[in-house]
Amino acid sequence: MTTQAGNGPVLFRSSVERKSLFYILAAAAVVGPAVVIGFAVPYVWGQSRQTAYILMAAATVDFLATWFVALIIRWIDVTFDGRRVRIGSRVFKASVAVEDILAAEVVRPAGPGSGSQQPVSREYIKLTTRTGVYNAPCVNAEALVELLRAHGGTPT
């Protein structure tokens, strides 16, 4: 079992790929700079080469930054160590103490393919706290709800 910064062993771990968000960001990383380099740079080139170079540099930085963000938030993780539930991507994570959770439930979107034929990645965990609601895609969310009930006495 793995540990994180002074916490106990991780009792539950789920990692789900957010393909649609990744593909949207990856497309934006390519299309935005392509438009700038394909249309804006040739238009400005005759007037001011210095401005054209600045546009090319900005398009390159935009490409790298958007691609970096797309890679960072591609996977969403849900972990539980007995005291805290951590939800998020590598850098961007929210941490919720078990005693702050008012309700925990499994959410399965209704619609075509619902029931046993529905893919597991369409399952979500919904954690309700005093400060807000956290929704995250989660594989085997029912197991997490049971662990939360066992460790914190979560009512639902």
Q: Is 94 helix (H, G, I), strand (E, B) or coil?
A: strand
First to last CA, the chain: 28
| Residue 113 per-residue DSSP state | T
What is the pLDDT of the chain when averaged over all its residues?
86
**What's this model's pTM, rounded to 2 decimal places?**
0.70
Q: Per residue in 82-98, pLDDT tens? A: 889 999 988 888 999 99
Q: Residue 95 in contact with residue 85, Cβ under 8 Å?
A: yes
The neighbour count for residue 98, using CB atoms within 10 Å, is 19
Distance separating alpha carbons of residues 134 and 49, to the nearest angstrom: 49
Q: Per residue in 39-80, pLDDT tens? A: 999 999 999 999 999 999 999 999 999 999 999 999 999 999
